[in-house]
Structure 1
Amino acid sequence: SNHLTGISLMLTSGALAGTLLQNVALKQQAVQSSNILATSNTAGRAVDGLKDVRYEKGSCTCTQEESDPWWRVDLRNLYNITAITITQEDTKDSYLIGGEIWIGNSTASLFFSAHRCAVIPDVPGDLTFHFSFRAIEGRYVTVRLPGSGRTLCLCEFEVFIGDNGKEYPQPNLALKGDATQSSTSSIFVAAKAIDGSRNSYLSKGFCTHTESETDPWWRVDLRQEYVIAAVKVTNRGDCCGERLDGAEIRVGSSLENNGNNNTRCGTILSTQGLLSFTFNCAGMTGRYIKVYIPKYTYLSLCEVEVFASLAG
């Protein structure tokens, strides 16, 4: 069966909940459907540990242009895989759109013995995609690009195993932060998302609320840079939860372009009636955590918690 969730969770390598999230794809054997250099198999470049996105630097791999190109890594053991990171080439930012990531125990049949754990979204300009999910057991991880006349290029492909739990031993750093938002409706100020209460009923007075506007946002300043392990967002529970659909969580230390240039740690594609969302962003470094919705709507948050270890 296909295992696709409506929530895109994102992660890079680093320490999370006291365990190292280990990239088990590093230096493993990789193959692909064809090679842009017919004389040599370059598939291993995607697991060489080098993330340079310039093809000419020699650490990216491409197939020829063909129908349904694919790339696969053999992890040599069965692992419970919890997350995957893909880095793609800088000049081909549309080439991976619709790409599917499959995890399986056999190379014999991709579709009958494997789980599809992710589909690469249409996000212009993004060179790195992170996906995390409930643990899926597998030895082989395949990227397949459906369609005719497609070229599959990868610069790095990382497969993580490790603790994908929801509890973190670090304190919630957001409690000591300084919160701001794009506008404020009534008494529902930005600080209410870092007041230590996950009470999700707006009338109780523990949630934020902006005016109705284009691209509403909320941001916490942690006052110094941290290595971020995870961000937990608690939505409204009384009504209107679907307003958070499409919300992006960005982590970084820049306020350029109002912080929108910072790395996206996660996207709430669909709230689906869920109250809280935990995004694993282990390894991302930042002072600012921003939640924003790229559409015309209200933004209301009942709590944002940030778990991290001190940078450096």
Structure 2
Amino acid sequence: MDSTVYLKRPVRTQRLLFSFNRSFMVKEVEVFGGKNVALWKETSQSSTYENSSNYASDKAVDGWDSDHYFFNNTCIHTELRGDNPFWSVMLGDFYRILSVYISNREDRSERINGFTVHVKTASGEERLIYTDKQQSKRKDIWIDSSYMPNELVNEVIIRGDNINHEKIINLCEVYVLACIPSKNETSECTQLFPENCHPSFDKMSDNLACPACLSGWTGDYCDIKKEHRYCKYHKGRTIDNKGNCTRREHCLGEFRKSDGQCTSPKNQCEPGWMGPGCQYVNLAYRSSSSIASLDGSLNTSEQILEIQIEFNGSFIISALIIHGKQSNNVTIKTPKNETCYMGNIKEGSHIVFCNFILRTRSLFISFLKKQTVMEIEVFGGRNVALWKKTTQSSIYNNTLTSPDKAVDGWDSGGDLFNDSCTHTYEKHETNGPFWNVDLGSPYSIMSVRIANRNKYEQRINGFRLFGLNFTNLRQLMYTDPGNATSRSSVWVDSSIMTSSLYHTIIIDGEYLVKNESRYQILALCEVEVFACRLTENRGEDCVSFCPKNCQQTEKCLNKQFTCPNCNPGWKGPHCTQGNVFLF
């Protein structure tokens, strides 16, 4: 029977060693070397011998090398002593080239000696990849993978500047081999990285190693499974054994300890996260979006004249990032016609700060002219609960469902048995179960997101959210209606956030629905408390929602974020009106 074996990762080698655990009858061993992506593609050459169609450039991609016999009229031939002779093939798309095989004319095979092979990469640059140094007669020339470039290629060129004195390029077939088979019975023609490598890289290394792995994998070839990102733990992470976990839970690759910035090229953050250290939630992200500018990837783009971004509720907005390919003029407004920003943005990643703090369910963005946009990201605050001190009323199973599992930076996909969710003990508790997190400092809370368990989801119905202020007064922030049938998460948005600063957040289960045994159980897979807005000096403000021209002593924690006292020279509710005469 036939059997296809897929290697764990692509390798570049001169031999393969096969060994069997018993004697084995083998009919044939075939090793995939790629498919010919040059076949019947568009070609050109510097000249054609006698202007005859018998020797035209497309003869080298017609699928037949005529057994190296020139007079079968399926080989190319340029004019005698032509200046700078060449032959090229446009591949029609970008490919990761594996090798190039040239079928030569047999009776004049020495004519090709000294040829060079060039390619054109995605940047449009022409690169020399091979220089022939042979002086012998050869029917076949196979330029192997060791010469192939690490970039994607869309054109292959054979030049004859240094060939025989007749300056003739005379070939019978050129095969450009690319594409490897994948397990899903399709061909992979652009990536040769291991299967767990992150897909945001264009260039390979010489040893085919991966620049950055998908979440949960590590090693040069992403073949070592990590429990989660770059955090080591045994039977679940806890506040005590988190090892080298950091606040940079959402970096796709490593980060510089000097400034805490994620270092992966292009997509530095996991989809849904943004900003310095990938610590800020991106309110614009849509996991299933077909809109390229909202899909969490900087590898996709679209042409936009205007776009409306809908949020999952009403959120406090103060800044966003537009990743664009041109400079342009942009206007950003809310449905209430409040202007967040009107002005110029630069090419690349441009941070836009609103004129004042807004609370809105959507933003309308319009450009003066069509803009190529890779991504639009809207700051929704930093998770200030990450790895903070937690407590809960009871623990169902020792450390496996301890309260710190809800602030470990991973929602475990809602699976309790991934050892990253909390769970109170299944018994009657006097005032119902509870869970809380001590934030360590007082914050102006922007929103709270709770990742629910993916089984028995209704158990969270009826929870209440409280905050402790600086006097330790317990204030009710939100009461869950308690009528949901199934939900993977609950995002308590900015519309319910009060005007107080809180140092502790409490999830109270006194009015939770009861299970079939008449017990109330509180199970949380992650609790993210979002606060802190980015400021124009690249710092943070975690307690105030004041506009930039408001006096620093103010907090502006009212519903409209208006300023009671503006800086000298400014006036208006948001201190946006200048040129006040001072005497």
How would you bin the TM-score normalised by the shorter chain? 0.3 to 0.5
TM-score (norm 1): 0.46
Larger Rg: 2
- Flag the structure with higher strand content: 1
Q: Pick 1 or 2: higher relative contact order, CA cutoff 8 A, min separation 6.
A: 1
